Structure 1
Protein backbone atom coordinates (compact mmCIF):
# COMPACT_ATOMS: atom_id res chain seq x y z
CA UNK A 1 0.00 0.00 0.00
CA UNK A 2 1.28 3.49 -0.76
CA UNK A 3 -0.11 6.91 0.00
CA UNK A 4 -1.00 9.33 -2.73
CA UNK A 5 0.32 12.86 -3.08
CA UNK A 6 -2.30 15.28 -4.35
CA UNK A 7 -1.17 18.75 -5.39
CA UNK A 8 -3.74 21.41 -6.18
CA UNK A 9 -4.85 24.99 -5.60
CA UNK A 10 -6.87 26.94 -3.09
CA UNK A 11 -9.88 28.13 -5.06
CA UNK A 12 -10.05 28.40 -8.82
CA UNK A 13 -12.17 31.43 -9.72
CA UNK A 14 -9.75 34.31 -10.16
CA UNK A 15 -10.18 36.92 -12.89
CA UNK A 16 -6.42 37.39 -13.29
CA UNK A 17 -6.01 33.74 -14.27
CA UNK A 18 -8.17 34.18 -17.35
CA UNK A 19 -6.05 34.40 -20.45
CA UNK A 20 -3.08 33.13 -18.44
CA UNK A 21 -3.69 29.78 -16.76
CA UNK A 22 -7.13 29.59 -18.32
CA UNK A 23 -6.99 29.91 -22.09
CA UNK A 24 -8.68 32.87 -23.76
CA UNK A 25 -12.32 32.17 -24.46
CA UNK A 26 -12.81 29.53 -21.77
CA UNK A 27 -16.18 30.21 -20.19
CA UNK A 28 -16.20 30.66 -16.44
CA UNK A 29 -18.50 27.74 -15.77
CA UNK A 30 -15.89 25.39 -17.27
CA UNK A 31 -12.92 26.60 -15.23
CA UNK A 32 -13.25 23.90 -12.58
CA UNK A 33 -13.55 21.27 -15.29
CA UNK A 34 -10.31 22.65 -16.78
CA UNK A 35 -8.61 22.38 -13.39
CA UNK A 36 -9.89 18.83 -12.91
CA UNK A 37 -8.27 17.77 -16.16
CA UNK A 38 -4.88 18.95 -14.92
CA UNK A 39 -4.69 18.34 -11.18
CA UNK A 40 -6.31 15.91 -8.72
CA UNK A 41 -7.58 18.24 -5.99
CA UNK A 42 -8.85 21.69 -5.08
CA UNK A 43 -9.37 23.41 -1.78
CA UNK A 44 -12.88 24.88 -1.59
CA UNK A 45 -12.59 28.23 0.16
CA UNK A 46 -16.01 29.76 -0.49
CA UNK A 47 -17.23 27.54 2.35
CA UNK A 48 -15.02 29.55 4.70
CA UNK A 49 -16.82 32.82 4.00
CA UNK A 50 -20.44 31.67 3.89
CA UNK A 51 -22.64 28.60 3.87
CA UNK A 52 -22.79 27.28 0.34
CA UNK A 53 -25.78 25.45 -1.13
CA UNK A 54 -26.18 21.76 -1.95
CA UNK A 55 -26.66 22.50 -5.65
CA UNK A 56 -23.26 24.21 -5.72
CA UNK A 57 -21.50 21.22 -4.17
CA UNK A 58 -23.25 18.89 -6.61
CA UNK A 59 -22.31 21.08 -9.57
CA UNK A 60 -18.69 21.17 -8.48
CA UNK A 61 -18.64 17.42 -7.99
CA UNK A 62 -20.10 16.83 -11.45
CA UNK A 63 -17.42 19.02 -13.07
CA UNK A 64 -14.44 16.86 -12.10
CA UNK A 65 -13.27 13.24 -12.58
CA UNK A 66 -14.36 10.45 -10.26
CA UNK A 67 -11.03 10.27 -8.40
CA UNK A 68 -10.85 14.02 -7.75
CA UNK A 69 -10.85 15.23 -4.13
CA UNK A 70 -12.15 18.46 -2.62
CA UNK A 71 -10.68 19.75 0.61
CA UNK A 72 -13.35 21.89 2.27
CA UNK A 73 -12.38 24.91 4.34
CA UNK A 74 -14.43 25.11 7.51
CA UNK A 75 -16.65 28.06 8.31
CA UNK A 76 -14.92 31.16 9.68
CA UNK A 77 -17.99 31.67 11.85
CA UNK A 78 -16.79 28.66 13.84
CA UNK A 79 -13.08 29.49 13.84
CA UNK A 80 -12.90 33.29 13.75
CA UNK A 81 -16.13 34.49 15.33
CA UNK A 82 -17.07 31.80 17.82
CA UNK A 83 -13.36 31.00 18.26
CA UNK A 84 -14.14 27.28 18.72
CA UNK A 85 -16.57 27.85 21.59
CA UNK A 86 -20.28 26.99 21.54
CA UNK A 87 -20.03 25.64 18.01
CA UNK A 88 -22.72 22.96 18.05
CA UNK A 89 -25.34 24.72 15.93
CA UNK A 90 -22.80 26.38 13.66
CA UNK A 91 -21.14 23.03 12.97
CA UNK A 92 -24.52 21.42 12.28
CA UNK A 93 -25.38 24.19 9.82
CA UNK A 94 -22.02 23.89 8.08
CA UNK A 95 -22.35 20.14 7.66
CA UNK A 96 -25.96 20.45 6.50
CA UNK A 97 -25.16 23.09 3.89
CA UNK A 98 -24.20 20.56 1.22
CA UNK A 99 -20.74 19.34 2.16
CA UNK A 100 -21.98 15.75 2.23
CA UNK A 101 -23.25 16.09 -1.35
CA UNK A 102 -19.63 15.69 -2.48
CA UNK A 103 -19.90 11.98 -1.64
CA UNK A 104 -16.68 10.08 -2.41
CA UNK A 105 -15.00 13.33 -3.55
CA UNK A 106 -15.07 14.79 -0.04
CA UNK A 107 -11.51 15.12 1.19
CA UNK A 108 -10.13 16.68 4.38
CA UNK A 109 -11.84 19.54 6.16
CA UNK A 110 -9.49 22.44 6.85
CA UNK A 111 -9.94 24.54 9.99
CA UNK A 112 -7.88 27.72 9.91
CA UNK A 113 -7.49 29.65 13.15
CA UNK A 114 -6.75 33.38 13.25
CA UNK A 115 -3.62 34.59 14.98
CA UNK A 116 -5.65 35.92 17.92
CA UNK A 117 -6.86 32.42 18.85
CA UNK A 118 -4.22 31.12 21.25
CA UNK A 119 -3.64 27.53 22.24
CA UNK A 120 -5.89 26.35 25.03
CA UNK A 121 -5.57 22.63 25.69
CA UNK A 122 -9.09 22.01 26.93
CA UNK A 123 -10.66 24.16 24.23
CA UNK A 124 -8.70 22.48 21.44
CA UNK A 125 -9.44 19.01 22.77
CA UNK A 126 -13.17 19.78 22.95
CA UNK A 127 -13.25 21.25 19.45
CA UNK A 128 -11.43 18.34 17.84
CA UNK A 129 -13.62 15.91 19.77
CA UNK A 130 -16.74 17.55 18.34
CA UNK A 131 -15.68 17.06 14.72
CA UNK A 132 -17.24 14.13 12.83
CA UNK A 133 -14.90 11.30 11.87
CA UNK A 134 -17.26 9.66 9.41
CA UNK A 135 -19.95 10.83 7.03
CA UNK A 136 -22.54 9.02 9.17
CA UNK A 137 -21.44 11.04 12.20
CA UNK A 138 -21.55 14.20 10.09
CA UNK A 139 -25.09 13.37 9.01
CA UNK A 140 -26.19 12.97 12.61
CA UNK A 141 -24.66 16.33 13.54
CA UNK A 142 -26.10 18.00 10.43
CA UNK A 143 -29.60 16.84 11.37
CA UNK A 144 -29.50 19.28 14.30
CA UNK A 145 -29.27 22.32 11.99
CA UNK A 146 -31.36 25.35 12.85
CA UNK A 147 -34.16 27.08 10.94
CA UNK A 148 -31.76 28.92 8.64
CA UNK A 149 -31.15 25.66 6.81
CA UNK A 150 -34.80 24.61 6.59
CA UNK A 151 -35.64 23.80 2.99
CA UNK A 152 -32.01 23.95 1.84
CA UNK A 153 -30.23 21.33 3.92
CA UNK A 154 -28.52 18.26 2.42
CA UNK A 155 -29.11 15.31 4.73
CA UNK A 156 -28.05 12.32 2.66
CA UNK A 157 -25.01 10.09 2.32
CA UNK A 158 -24.46 7.30 -0.18
CA UNK A 159 -22.30 5.34 2.29
CA UNK A 160 -20.38 5.81 5.50
CA UNK A 161 -16.85 7.04 4.81
CA UNK A 162 -14.04 8.38 7.00
CA UNK A 163 -13.60 12.15 7.27
CA UNK A 164 -10.18 13.69 7.79
CA UNK A 165 -9.45 17.05 9.39
CA UNK A 166 -6.53 19.48 9.31
CA UNK A 167 -5.86 22.44 11.60
CA UNK A 168 -3.96 25.57 10.52
CA UNK A 169 -3.26 27.70 13.61
CA UNK A 170 -1.55 31.06 13.21
CA UNK A 171 -0.61 31.77 16.82
CA UNK A 172 2.91 30.92 17.97
CA UNK A 173 1.31 29.55 21.14
CA UNK A 174 0.50 26.39 19.16
CA UNK A 175 4.21 25.61 19.09
CA UNK A 176 3.60 24.14 22.56
CA UNK A 177 4.31 20.37 22.30
CA UNK A 178 1.01 19.78 24.12
CA UNK A 179 -0.88 21.09 21.06
CA UNK A 180 0.74 18.49 18.80
CA UNK A 181 -0.01 15.80 21.38
CA UNK A 182 -3.72 16.69 21.32
CA UNK A 183 -3.80 16.76 17.53
CA UNK A 184 -2.03 13.42 17.40
CA UNK A 185 -4.52 11.88 19.82
CA UNK A 186 -7.37 12.98 17.55
CA UNK A 187 -5.48 12.03 14.34
CA UNK A 188 -5.84 15.59 13.03
CA UNK A 189 -3.11 16.96 10.76
CA UNK A 190 -1.22 20.06 11.89
CA UNK A 191 -0.96 22.04 8.67
CA UNK A 192 2.52 22.67 7.33
CA UNK A 193 2.22 26.29 6.19
CA UNK A 194 4.61 28.44 4.19
CA UNK A 195 3.60 32.04 4.88
CA UNK A 196 6.68 34.08 3.96
CA UNK A 197 7.62 33.98 7.63
CA UNK A 198 4.44 35.77 8.74
CA UNK A 199 2.98 32.86 10.73
CA UNK A 200 4.44 29.68 12.25
CA UNK A 201 5.40 27.04 9.72
CA UNK A 202 5.04 24.06 12.08
CA UNK A 203 5.89 20.78 10.37
CA UNK A 204 5.35 18.15 13.05
CA UNK A 205 3.44 15.15 11.77
CA UNK A 206 0.36 14.57 13.92
CA UNK A 207 -1.86 12.39 11.71
CA UNK A 208 -1.75 9.46 9.34
CA UNK A 209 -1.81 12.02 6.50
CA UNK A 210 -0.13 15.36 5.83
CA UNK A 211 -1.67 18.67 4.80
CA UNK A 212 0.43 21.48 3.29
CA UNK A 213 -0.55 25.05 2.38
CA UNK A 214 1.90 27.12 0.33
CA UNK A 215 0.97 30.80 0.61
CA UNK A 216 4.22 32.19 -0.82
CA UNK A 217 7.85 32.01 0.24
CA UNK A 218 8.78 35.71 0.03
CA UNK A 219 5.53 37.64 -0.39
CA UNK A 220 2.42 36.31 1.34
CA UNK A 221 -0.21 35.17 -1.19
CA UNK A 222 1.68 36.82 -4.04
CA UNK A 223 5.16 35.43 -4.76
CA UNK A 224 5.81 32.45 -6.98
CA UNK A 225 8.07 29.51 -6.15
CA UNK A 226 11.42 29.13 -7.85
CA UNK A 227 12.57 25.86 -9.38
CA UNK A 228 14.90 25.36 -6.41
CA UNK A 229 12.10 25.96 -3.90
CA UNK A 230 9.81 23.52 -5.69
CA UNK A 231 12.62 20.95 -5.73
CA UNK A 232 13.00 21.40 -1.98
CA UNK A 233 9.28 20.90 -1.37
CA UNK A 234 9.27 17.81 -3.57
CA UNK A 235 12.18 16.40 -1.56
CA UNK A 236 10.42 17.18 1.72
CA UNK A 237 7.23 15.45 0.58
CA UNK A 238 9.18 12.39 -0.53
CA UNK A 239 10.85 12.39 2.88
CA UNK A 240 7.50 12.29 4.66
CA UNK A 241 6.48 9.33 2.58
CA UNK A 242 9.76 7.50 3.05
CA UNK A 243 9.88 8.16 6.78
CA UNK A 244 6.48 6.78 7.76
CA UNK A 245 6.84 5.01 11.10
CA UNK A 246 4.56 2.13 10.13
CA UNK A 247 6.14 1.69 6.72
CA UNK A 248 2.99 2.86 4.94
CA UNK A 249 3.56 6.14 3.06
CA UNK A 250 0.94 8.71 4.10
CA UNK A 251 -1.42 10.56 1.84
CA UNK A 252 -0.20 14.12 1.33
CA UNK A 253 -2.43 17.03 0.33
CA UNK A 254 -0.69 20.16 -0.97
CA UNK A 255 -2.46 23.41 -1.88
CA UNK A 256 -0.95 26.53 -3.40
CA UNK A 257 -2.58 29.71 -2.12
CA UNK A 258 -0.21 32.21 -3.77
CA UNK A 259 -2.98 33.29 -6.11
CA UNK A 260 -2.76 37.11 -6.07
CA UNK A 261 -0.51 37.26 -9.12
CA UNK A 262 -1.59 34.00 -10.69
CA UNK A 263 1.34 31.84 -9.63
CA UNK A 264 -0.68 29.18 -7.79
CA UNK A 265 -1.84 26.95 -10.67
CA UNK A 266 1.50 27.06 -12.47
CA UNK A 267 3.37 26.19 -9.27
CA UNK A 268 0.91 23.38 -8.52
CA UNK A 269 1.45 21.82 -11.93
CA UNK A 270 5.22 22.20 -11.61
CA UNK A 271 5.34 20.54 -8.18
CA UNK A 272 2.94 17.84 -9.30
CA UNK A 273 5.19 17.04 -12.26
CA UNK A 274 8.23 16.73 -9.98
CA UNK A 275 6.42 14.28 -7.74
CA UNK A 276 5.19 12.23 -10.69
CA UNK A 277 8.77 11.48 -11.76
Structure 2
Protein backbone atom coordinates (compact mmCIF):
# COMPACT_ATOMS: atom_id res chain seq x y z
CA UNK A 1 0.00 0.00 0.00
CA UNK A 2 1.20 3.52 -0.75
CA UNK A 3 2.55 5.08 2.43
CA UNK A 4 1.20 8.56 1.79
CA UNK A 5 -2.51 7.86 2.22
CA UNK A 6 -3.50 11.23 0.73
CA UNK A 7 -6.81 12.36 -0.78
CA UNK A 8 -6.07 14.28 -3.97
CA UNK A 9 -8.63 16.19 -6.00
CA UNK A 10 -7.71 17.14 -9.52
CA UNK A 11 -8.57 18.03 -13.09
CA UNK A 12 -8.04 16.63 -16.57
CA UNK A 13 -5.13 18.23 -18.39
CA UNK A 14 -3.97 21.81 -18.02
CA UNK A 15 -4.26 23.34 -21.50
CA UNK A 16 -7.76 24.79 -21.81
CA UNK A 17 -8.41 28.24 -23.23
CA UNK A 18 -11.49 29.08 -21.07
CA UNK A 19 -9.32 28.71 -17.95
CA UNK A 20 -7.21 31.69 -19.05
CA UNK A 21 -8.41 34.65 -17.06
CA UNK A 22 -10.48 32.43 -14.77
CA UNK A 23 -8.35 29.66 -13.27
CA UNK A 24 -5.17 31.10 -14.76
CA UNK A 25 -4.38 34.75 -13.94
CA UNK A 26 -4.51 37.16 -16.84
CA UNK A 27 -1.11 37.53 -18.45
CA UNK A 28 0.21 34.17 -17.22
CA UNK A 29 2.49 32.64 -19.84
CA UNK A 30 1.14 29.44 -21.34
CA UNK A 31 4.47 27.84 -20.51
CA UNK A 32 3.71 28.47 -16.82
CA UNK A 33 0.16 27.08 -16.81
CA UNK A 34 1.13 23.58 -15.72
CA UNK A 35 3.11 24.88 -12.75
CA UNK A 36 0.18 27.08 -11.73
CA UNK A 37 -2.27 24.18 -12.03
CA UNK A 38 0.01 21.79 -10.16
CA UNK A 39 0.24 24.19 -7.22
CA UNK A 40 -3.53 24.59 -6.99
CA UNK A 41 -4.76 20.99 -7.36
CA UNK A 42 -3.40 17.72 -6.02
CA UNK A 43 -3.30 15.75 -9.25
CA UNK A 44 -3.77 16.05 -13.00
CA UNK A 45 -5.03 13.36 -15.31
CA UNK A 46 -3.04 13.21 -18.56
CA UNK A 47 -5.35 12.19 -21.38
CA UNK A 48 -3.14 12.93 -24.40
CA UNK A 49 -1.32 9.63 -23.87
CA UNK A 50 -4.53 7.85 -24.89
CA UNK A 51 -4.21 9.16 -28.44
CA UNK A 52 -0.46 9.21 -29.09
CA UNK A 53 2.89 8.42 -27.55
CA UNK A 54 4.82 11.22 -25.87
CA UNK A 55 8.53 11.92 -25.67
CA UNK A 56 10.62 11.17 -22.56
CA UNK A 57 11.60 14.85 -22.53
CA UNK A 58 7.95 15.82 -22.18
CA UNK A 59 7.43 13.63 -19.13
CA UNK A 60 10.61 15.05 -17.59
CA UNK A 61 9.41 18.60 -18.25
CA UNK A 62 6.05 17.88 -16.65
CA UNK A 63 7.77 16.33 -13.64
CA UNK A 64 9.93 19.39 -13.11
CA UNK A 65 6.94 21.73 -13.31
CA UNK A 66 5.12 19.99 -10.44
CA UNK A 67 5.87 20.36 -6.71
CA UNK A 68 6.76 17.57 -4.30
CA UNK A 69 3.80 15.37 -3.48
CA UNK A 70 1.96 16.11 -6.70
CA UNK A 71 0.75 13.23 -8.89
CA UNK A 72 0.06 12.78 -12.59
CA UNK A 73 -2.22 9.93 -13.53
CA UNK A 74 -1.90 8.65 -17.08
CA UNK A 75 -4.57 7.39 -19.45
CA UNK A 76 -3.19 4.35 -21.23
CA UNK A 77 -3.04 4.13 -25.01
CA UNK A 78 -6.19 3.19 -26.91
CA UNK A 79 -4.04 0.76 -28.89
CA UNK A 80 -3.79 -1.28 -25.71
CA UNK A 81 -7.46 -1.35 -24.76
CA UNK A 82 -9.46 -1.04 -27.99
CA UNK A 83 -8.85 -4.62 -29.09
CA UNK A 84 -11.04 -7.55 -29.98
CA UNK A 85 -8.89 -9.84 -27.81
CA UNK A 86 -6.92 -8.25 -24.97
CA UNK A 87 -4.57 -11.21 -24.89
CA UNK A 88 -2.89 -9.77 -27.99
CA UNK A 89 -1.91 -6.48 -26.39
CA UNK A 90 1.41 -7.32 -24.71
CA UNK A 91 3.58 -5.53 -27.27
CA UNK A 92 1.40 -2.41 -27.13
CA UNK A 93 1.59 -2.32 -23.32
CA UNK A 94 5.37 -2.47 -23.50
CA UNK A 95 5.46 0.29 -26.11
CA UNK A 96 3.20 2.47 -23.98
CA UNK A 97 5.32 2.03 -20.86
CA UNK A 98 8.53 2.50 -22.79
CA UNK A 99 7.64 5.97 -24.07
CA UNK A 100 9.16 7.60 -20.99
CA UNK A 101 6.59 7.38 -18.20
CA UNK A 102 9.34 6.53 -15.70
CA UNK A 103 10.64 10.08 -16.18
CA UNK A 104 7.79 11.22 -13.94
CA UNK A 105 9.47 9.44 -11.02
CA UNK A 106 7.65 10.04 -7.73
CA UNK A 107 5.14 12.30 -9.51
CA UNK A 108 3.68 9.27 -11.28
CA UNK A 109 0.27 8.25 -9.99
CA UNK A 110 -1.91 5.41 -11.24
CA UNK A 111 -2.26 4.44 -14.89
CA UNK A 112 -5.87 3.93 -15.91
CA UNK A 113 -6.95 1.70 -18.74
CA UNK A 114 -10.21 2.78 -20.33
CA UNK A 115 -12.32 0.34 -22.35
CA UNK A 116 -14.97 1.05 -24.93
CA UNK A 117 -18.60 0.59 -23.96
CA UNK A 118 -18.82 -2.34 -26.38
CA UNK A 119 -16.08 -4.32 -24.59
CA UNK A 120 -17.70 -7.17 -22.63
CA UNK A 121 -16.32 -8.93 -19.59
CA UNK A 122 -14.60 -12.23 -20.27
CA UNK A 123 -12.89 -13.46 -17.11
CA UNK A 124 -10.11 -15.42 -18.81
CA UNK A 125 -9.35 -12.70 -21.33
CA UNK A 126 -9.41 -9.93 -18.76
CA UNK A 127 -7.21 -11.76 -16.29
CA UNK A 128 -4.68 -12.46 -19.04
CA UNK A 129 -4.63 -8.74 -19.77
CA UNK A 130 -4.26 -7.78 -16.10
CA UNK A 131 -1.36 -10.19 -15.68
CA UNK A 132 0.50 -8.40 -18.49
CA UNK A 133 0.38 -5.04 -16.69
CA UNK A 134 3.84 -4.34 -15.21
CA UNK A 135 4.09 -3.45 -11.53
CA UNK A 136 7.25 -1.43 -12.05
CA UNK A 137 9.03 0.14 -14.98
CA UNK A 138 12.66 1.24 -14.95
CA UNK A 139 12.64 1.23 -11.17
CA UNK A 140 9.39 3.19 -10.77
CA UNK A 141 6.44 1.42 -9.15
CA UNK A 142 3.22 1.26 -11.16
CA UNK A 143 -0.37 1.14 -9.96
CA UNK A 144 -3.27 0.42 -12.28
CA UNK A 145 -6.99 1.18 -12.53
CA UNK A 146 -9.52 0.02 -15.11
CA UNK A 147 -12.38 2.09 -16.49
CA UNK A 148 -15.04 -0.32 -17.81
CA UNK A 149 -18.32 0.67 -19.41
CA UNK A 150 -20.25 -2.47 -20.42
CA UNK A 151 -22.96 -3.81 -18.12
CA UNK A 152 -21.44 -7.31 -18.21
CA UNK A 153 -18.80 -6.05 -15.76
CA UNK A 154 -21.46 -5.56 -13.10
CA UNK A 155 -20.82 -8.92 -11.48
CA UNK A 156 -19.06 -10.31 -8.39
CA UNK A 157 -16.57 -12.23 -10.57
CA UNK A 158 -15.12 -9.01 -11.99
CA UNK A 159 -14.82 -7.44 -8.55
CA UNK A 160 -13.11 -10.55 -7.16
CA UNK A 161 -10.66 -10.60 -10.08
CA UNK A 162 -9.66 -6.98 -9.49
CA UNK A 163 -9.18 -7.61 -5.77
CA UNK A 164 -7.03 -10.61 -6.53
CA UNK A 165 -4.65 -8.45 -8.57
CA UNK A 166 -4.93 -5.21 -6.55
CA UNK A 167 -6.35 -3.28 -9.51
CA UNK A 168 -8.71 -0.37 -8.83
CA UNK A 169 -12.02 0.04 -10.61
CA UNK A 170 -12.58 3.62 -11.74
CA UNK A 171 -15.78 4.93 -10.17
CA UNK A 172 -17.52 7.47 -12.43
CA UNK A 173 -20.20 9.98 -11.52
CA UNK A 174 -21.91 10.22 -14.87
CA UNK A 175 -25.23 10.40 -16.68
CA UNK A 176 -23.79 8.23 -19.44
CA UNK A 177 -21.55 5.56 -17.93
CA UNK A 178 -22.31 2.80 -15.43
CA UNK A 179 -20.95 3.01 -11.92
CA UNK A 180 -19.09 0.23 -10.12
CA UNK A 181 -18.00 1.64 -6.78
CA UNK A 182 -16.56 -1.56 -5.28
CA UNK A 183 -13.12 -0.90 -3.79
CA UNK A 184 -10.64 -3.45 -5.04
CA UNK A 185 -7.14 -2.01 -4.55
CA UNK A 186 -5.00 -0.13 -2.05
CA UNK A 187 -6.09 3.16 -3.62
CA UNK A 188 -9.33 4.65 -4.98
CA UNK A 189 -10.01 6.42 -8.27
CA UNK A 190 -13.11 8.46 -9.20
CA UNK A 191 -13.99 10.57 -12.23
CA UNK A 192 -16.69 13.14 -11.52
CA UNK A 193 -18.35 14.07 -14.79
CA UNK A 194 -21.39 16.21 -13.95
CA UNK A 195 -19.96 19.75 -13.67
CA UNK A 196 -22.53 22.37 -14.64
CA UNK A 197 -21.65 25.84 -15.86
CA UNK A 198 -24.54 27.54 -14.04
CA UNK A 199 -22.96 26.58 -10.68
CA UNK A 200 -19.75 28.42 -9.82
CA UNK A 201 -18.29 25.30 -8.21
CA UNK A 202 -19.54 22.95 -10.91
CA UNK A 203 -21.29 20.73 -8.38
CA UNK A 204 -23.85 21.86 -5.82
CA UNK A 205 -22.95 22.13 -2.16
CA UNK A 206 -24.89 18.96 -1.37
CA UNK A 207 -23.16 17.05 -4.16
CA UNK A 208 -19.75 18.21 -3.00
CA UNK A 209 -20.60 17.20 0.56
CA UNK A 210 -21.54 13.74 -0.74
CA UNK A 211 -18.27 13.25 -2.61
CA UNK A 212 -16.25 14.59 0.31
CA UNK A 213 -17.90 11.90 2.44
CA UNK A 214 -17.11 9.27 -0.19
CA UNK A 215 -13.46 10.37 -0.36
CA UNK A 216 -13.09 10.30 3.42
CA UNK A 217 -14.77 6.89 3.61
CA UNK A 218 -12.47 5.41 0.98
CA UNK A 219 -9.47 6.96 2.67
CA UNK A 220 -10.53 5.32 5.91
CA UNK A 221 -11.01 1.89 4.33
CA UNK A 222 -14.81 1.87 4.05
CA UNK A 223 -17.35 1.54 1.26
CA UNK A 224 -20.05 4.20 1.82
CA UNK A 225 -23.74 3.92 1.04
CA UNK A 226 -25.24 5.87 -1.83
CA UNK A 227 -23.14 4.32 -4.62
CA UNK A 228 -23.69 1.41 -6.99
CA UNK A 229 -21.91 -1.85 -6.20
CA UNK A 230 -21.45 -5.04 -8.21
CA UNK A 231 -20.69 -7.39 -5.32
CA UNK A 232 -22.00 -7.98 -1.82
CA UNK A 233 -18.62 -9.27 -0.65
CA UNK A 234 -17.15 -6.91 1.92
CA UNK A 235 -13.58 -5.88 1.13
CA UNK A 236 -10.76 -5.88 3.63
CA UNK A 237 -9.33 -2.41 3.15
CA UNK A 238 -6.52 -0.83 5.09
CA UNK A 239 -6.99 2.70 6.38
CA UNK A 240 -5.05 5.73 5.13
CA UNK A 241 -5.42 4.82 1.48
CA UNK A 242 -4.64 7.13 -1.42
CA UNK A 243 -7.73 8.57 -3.09
CA UNK A 244 -7.83 10.30 -6.48
CA UNK A 245 -10.89 12.30 -7.51
CA UNK A 246 -10.90 14.10 -10.84
CA UNK A 247 -13.43 16.54 -12.25
CA UNK A 248 -13.64 15.45 -15.86
CA UNK A 249 -16.06 16.29 -18.66
CA UNK A 250 -19.27 18.24 -18.17
CA UNK A 251 -18.66 22.00 -17.93
CA UNK A 252 -14.86 21.78 -17.87
CA UNK A 253 -14.52 25.50 -17.21
CA UNK A 254 -15.78 24.80 -13.67
CA UNK A 255 -13.47 21.85 -12.96
CA UNK A 256 -10.71 23.76 -11.08
CA UNK A 257 -13.27 25.49 -8.85
CA UNK A 258 -14.96 22.15 -8.21
CA UNK A 259 -11.67 20.54 -7.23
CA UNK A 260 -10.89 23.44 -4.88
CA UNK A 261 -14.34 23.35 -3.28
CA UNK A 262 -14.13 19.59 -2.74
CA UNK A 263 -10.67 19.90 -1.18
CA UNK A 264 -11.95 22.52 1.26
CA UNK A 265 -14.70 20.17 2.42
CA UNK A 266 -12.36 17.21 2.78
CA UNK A 267 -9.94 19.24 4.88
CA UNK A 268 -12.60 20.62 7.25
SS in 2 for 1:33: helix
Instruction: Find the counterpart in structure 2 of residue 126 from structure 1.
Output: 128
Instruction: Find the counterpart in structure 2 of residue 70 from structure 1.
Output: 72
SS in 2 for 1:266: helix
Instruction: Find the counterpart in structure 2 of residue 141 from structure 1.
Output: none
1:165 pairs with 122, 135, 144, which one?
144
Matched, 1:209 2:184: no
Matches within 5 A, 1:147-186: 157=138, 160-186=139-165
Q: TM-score, normalised by structure 2?
A: 0.88
Instruction: Find the counterpart in structure 2 of residue 52 from structure 1.
Output: 54
For structure 2, list consecutive stretches of 5 or more residues without a partner in the other structure: 223-235
Instruction: Find the counterpart in structure 1 of residue 231 from structure 2.
Output: none
Report the Cα distance in structure 2 between the residues aligned to 1:256 and 1:64, rounded to whole angstroms: 19
Following TM superposition, by how much is the alpha carbon of 1:161 offset from its aligned partner in structure 2, in angstroms? Answer: 3.9
Deviations 1:12-57 (A, max 9, x none): 1111111111111111111110011111211111111110111110
Following TM superposition, by how much is the alpha carbon of 1:109 offset from its aligned partner in structure 2, in angstroms? Answer: 0.3
Q: Structure 1 273/42 Cα, relative in aligned 2: closer, same or farther at 3 Å?
A: same
Following TM superposition, by how much is the alpha carbon of 1:217 offset from its aligned partner in structure 2, in angstroms? Answer: 6.3
Instruction: Find the counterpart in structure 2 of residue 252 from structure 1.
Output: 243
**Any conservation in 2 of the 1:193–1:213 contact (CA below 8 Å)?**
yes
Matches within 5 A, 1:47-126: 47-81=49-83, 84-126=86-128
Report the Cα distance in structure 2 between the residues aligned to 1:125 and 1:213, rounded to whole angstroms: 24
1:188 pairs with 120, 144, 167, which one?
167
Instruction: Find the counterpart in structure 2 of residue 139 from structure 1.
Output: none
Deviations 1:180-233 (A, max 9, x none): 11111110001111112x1111100111111111111679xxx92111100110
SS in 2 for 1:26: coil
**Any conservation in 2 of the 1:49–1:76 contact (CA below 8 Å)?**
yes
How well do the aligned residues superpose, as a CA RMSD in angstroms? 1.9
Q: Structure 1 83/254 Cα, relative in aligned 2: closer, same or farther at 3 Å?
A: farther
Instruction: Find the counterpart in structure 2 of residue 138 from structure 1.
Output: none
Report the Cα distance in structure 2 between the residues aligned to 1:83 and 1:215, rounded to whole angstroms: 29
Q: TM-score, normalised by structure 1?
A: 0.85
Following TM superposition, by how much is the alpha carbon of 1:242 offset from its aligned partner in structure 2, in angstroms? Answer: 3.0
**Any conservation in 2 of the 1:194–1:217 contact (CA below 8 Å)?**
no
Following TM superposition, by how much is the alpha carbon of 1:91 offset from its aligned partner in structure 2, in angstroms? Answer: 1.0
Report the Cα distance in structure 2 between the residues aligned to 1:182 and 1:129, rounded to whole angstroms: 11
**Any conservation in 2 of the 1:83–1:117 contact (CA below 8 Å)?**
no
**Any conservation in 2 of the 1:18–1:24 contact (CA below 8 Å)?**
yes
- Number of aligned positions between the proteins: 250
Following TM superposition, by how much is the alpha carbon of 1:79 offset from its aligned partner in structure 2, in angstroms? Answer: 1.0
Report the Cα distance in structure 2 between the residues aligned to 1:211 and 1:225, rounded to whole angstroms: 18
